[in-house]
Amino acid sequence: MTQTPKVVGFICDWSVDLIPLSDGGRLRALPNVRVVRVPCSGFVRPEWLEDALNRGADGVFVTGCPYGDCLNREGNFLMRDRIDQLQRRLQRRKVDPARLGMLAFGLHDGAAFLAEVKAFADRIAVLPPAQPARTAGRPAVAQPAGTPEGDRT
Least confident among 27-41, 70-84, 96-110:
70-84
Give the pLDDT score at 129: 80
Q: Is the pLDDT of residue 141 over 70?
A: no
- CA 99 to CA 149: how far, in whole Å? 32
Structural contact between residues 88 and 97, judged by C-beta atoms closer than 8 angstroms: yes
Least confident among 47-51, 69-73, 122-126, 127-131:
69-73
- CA 36 to CA 118: how far, in whole Å? 17
Residue 99: count other Cβ atoms within 10 Å of its Cβ: 24
Give the pLDDT score at 132: 61
**Higher-confidence residue: 44 or 143?**
44
Per the rule left: phi > 0, alpha: psi between -120 and 50, beta: everything else, 134 is alpha
Q: Is the pLDDT of residue 120 over 50?
A: yes
Which of the four pLDDT bands, split at 50, 70 and 90, describes residue 24?
A: confident
- Please, what is the average pLDDT of the chain? 85
Q: What is the pTM of this model?
A: 0.81
Q: Which tens digit of pLDDT belongs to each residue from 51-87?
A: 999 999 999 999 999 887 777 777 788 898 999 999 9
* Nearby residues of 108 by Cβ (< 8 Å), 6 or more positions away: 17
